[in-house]
């Protein structure tokens, strides 16, 4: 038995949800470029769950269901109020999502219909939980979700209490579309491993949030912004990046396990980052990002991934840095739940082997002789 470090190149399951073939990402066979240009996030959610784009009435029904399910149990809001004010935002999300299960009477109902209803509730309630957490820690009361608006609109509204501008909703919608699913990424794999034991959907999503939190995965978008803030201005980029690369340090938001010639999602966010920079009159984050890309690609051959330009996009939307990864979760919960449903449909316990590298032929030594 020989281990493959990081399971690189290992095909661990079949799936009909999303594919990465020759560097092209599709959801249910539709190119991400097409979806990024034209689709609403809700259409993508439907596509991932049901395998086809919704017609008008199907989309309206999903909007209605998401709208009706967006309020979070008051007990969960009360719990969030007890979290320490400096709680890490992904830890807060992980805890709150786990708590949501306690107040869902269908939490342990394993029927497909109940699981689909729980998928709707999770999709609808993650934005509410994150916005509530952000407001509570700032000493403000949470804002109840608004009816009949999109997920992107509602999140921005619940965060600020103000009607968001159309361009902000458009930018967030695009980011949500681009982050919704990504084949067998680490968090999706974690979700599938958890539910393959026939554990419940909340356990699967809680596992996934834990995996997404790390800076090698979803946590990279926050790390990118921390780097941009540390660099400060475009004229400091060259010295900073050259030193990091010389020290063999990783530049967050670059590289990818699967894409070696570039992440097809990055260009959409780059475009949006530029557009928002022009609108806000602050091109600093975009200019720095472009310079970083030139240097990292030039010196290391590494291309930006989805996290790189999402950092400047969210900053232009005035979203606090530590909510970037939770926003990733707002989007990816659609993919996680699609994969969980797919796993249940054709389940087998996921239980690989390990190549043993420890000592052999050891004997138990009584404690007094050690």
Residues near ligand ACO, by CB under 6 A: 6, 216-218, 220, 250-257, 300, 302, 305-307
Report the residue number, 202 or 259, with the smaller CB distance to ligand ACO.
259
Q: How far is the CB of 81 from ligand ACO (least distance, A)?
A: 31
Q: Is 31 a catalytic residue?
A: no
Do 73 and 100 meet the contact criterion of CB atoms below 8 Å apart?
yes
Which is catalytic among the residues 33, 109, 256, 287?
A: 256
3-state helix, strand, coil in the chain (%, to 5): 60, 5, 35
Do 268 and 35 meet the contact criterion of CB atoms below 8 Å apart?
no
Which is catalytic among the residues 104, 181, 263, 307?
A: 307
Do 325 and 212 meet the contact criterion of CB atoms below 8 Å apart?
yes
Report the residue number, 266 or 341, with the smaller CB distance to ligand ACO.
266
Q: How far is the CB of 34 from ligand ACO (least distance, A)?
A: 20
> In sequence order, what are the beta bridge partners of 254?
304
Do 16 and 28 meet the contact criterion of CB atoms below 8 Å apart?
yes
Report the residue number, 80 or 251, with the smaller CB distance to ligand ACO.
251
Report the residue number, 142 or 304, with the smaller CB distance to ligand ACO.
304
Closest CA to 313 of 221, 248, 232: 221
Q: Which residue has the tokens 């990292």?
A: 296
- Give CA 63 to chain center in angstroms: 21
With a CB cutoff of 8 Å and minimum separation 6, the contacts of 9 are: none
Closest CA to 49 of 345, 316, 286: 345
Do 53 and 27 meet the contact criterion of CB atoms below 8 Å apart?
no
Count Cβ atoms within 10 A of the Cβ of residue 199 and give its class: 0-12 exposed, 13-18 middle, 19 or more buried: middle
Do 96 and 329 meet the contact criterion of CB atoms below 8 Å apart?
no
- Token pair of 39, please? 């689709």
Q: How far apart are CA 89 and CA 253, in angstroms?
A: 20
Report the residue number, 115 or 188, with the smaller CB distance to ligand ACO.
188
Q: How far apart are CA 134 and CA 231, in angstroms?
A: 26
Q: Is 182 a catalytic residue?
A: no
Closest CA to 292 of 240, 255, 230: 240
Q: How far is the CB of 302 from ligand ACO (least distance, A)?
A: 5
Report the residue number, 218 or 277, with the smaller CB distance to ligand ACO.
218
Report the residue number, 253 or 264, with the smaller CB distance to ligand ACO.
253
Closest CA to 347 of 201, 227, 167, 178: 201
β-pairing, 18-21 vs 24-27, is antiparallel
| Catalytic residue list | 256, 307
């Amino acid at each position: 038995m020989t281990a493959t470090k990081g399971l690189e190149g290992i095909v661990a399951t079949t799936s009909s949800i999303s594919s990465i073939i020759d560097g092209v990402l599709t959801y249910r066979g539709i190119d991400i470029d097409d979806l990024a240009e034209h689709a609403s996030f809700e259409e993508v959610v439907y596509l991932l769950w049901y395998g086809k784009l919704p017609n008008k009435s199907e989309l309206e029904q999903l909007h209605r269901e998401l709208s009706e399910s967006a309020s979070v149990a008051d007990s969960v809001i009360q719990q969030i109020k007890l979290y320490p004010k400096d709680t890490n935002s992904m830890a807060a999300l992980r805890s709150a999502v786990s708590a949501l299960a306690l107040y869902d009477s269908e939490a342990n109902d394993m029927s497909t219909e109940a699981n689909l209803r729980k998928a709707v509730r999770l999709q609808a309630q993650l934005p509410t939980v994150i916005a509530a957490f952000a407001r509570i820690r700032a000493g403000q009361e949470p804002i109840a979700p608004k009816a009949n608006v999109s997920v992107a609109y509602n999140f921005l509204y619940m965060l600020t209490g103000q009607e968001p501008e159309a361009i902000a909703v458009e930018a967030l919608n695009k980011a949500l579309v681009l982050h919704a699913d990504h084949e067998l990424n680490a968090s999706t794999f974690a979700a599938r491993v958890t539910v393959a034991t026939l554990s419940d959907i909340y356990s699967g999503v809680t596992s996934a949030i834990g995996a997404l939190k790390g800076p090698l995965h979803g946590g990279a978008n926050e790390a990118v912004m921390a780097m941009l803030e540390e660099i400060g201005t475009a004229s400091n980029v060259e010295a900073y990046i050259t030193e990091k690369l010389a020290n063999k340090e990783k530049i967050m938001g670059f590289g990818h396990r699967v894409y070696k010639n570039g992440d097809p999602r990055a260009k959409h966010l780059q475009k949006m980052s530029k557009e928002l920079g022009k609108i806000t009159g602050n091109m600093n984050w975009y200019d720095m990002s472009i310079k970083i890309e030139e240097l990292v690609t030039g010196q290391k051959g590494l291309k930006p991934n989805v996290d790189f330009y999402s950092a400047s996009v969210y900053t232009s939307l005035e979203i606090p840095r530590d909510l970037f990864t939770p926003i990733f979760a707002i989007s990816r919960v659609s993919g996680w739940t699609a994969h969980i449903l797919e796993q249940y449909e054709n389940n087998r316990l996921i239980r690989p082997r390990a190549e043993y590298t420890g000592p052999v032929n050891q004997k138990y030594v009584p404690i007094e002789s050690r």
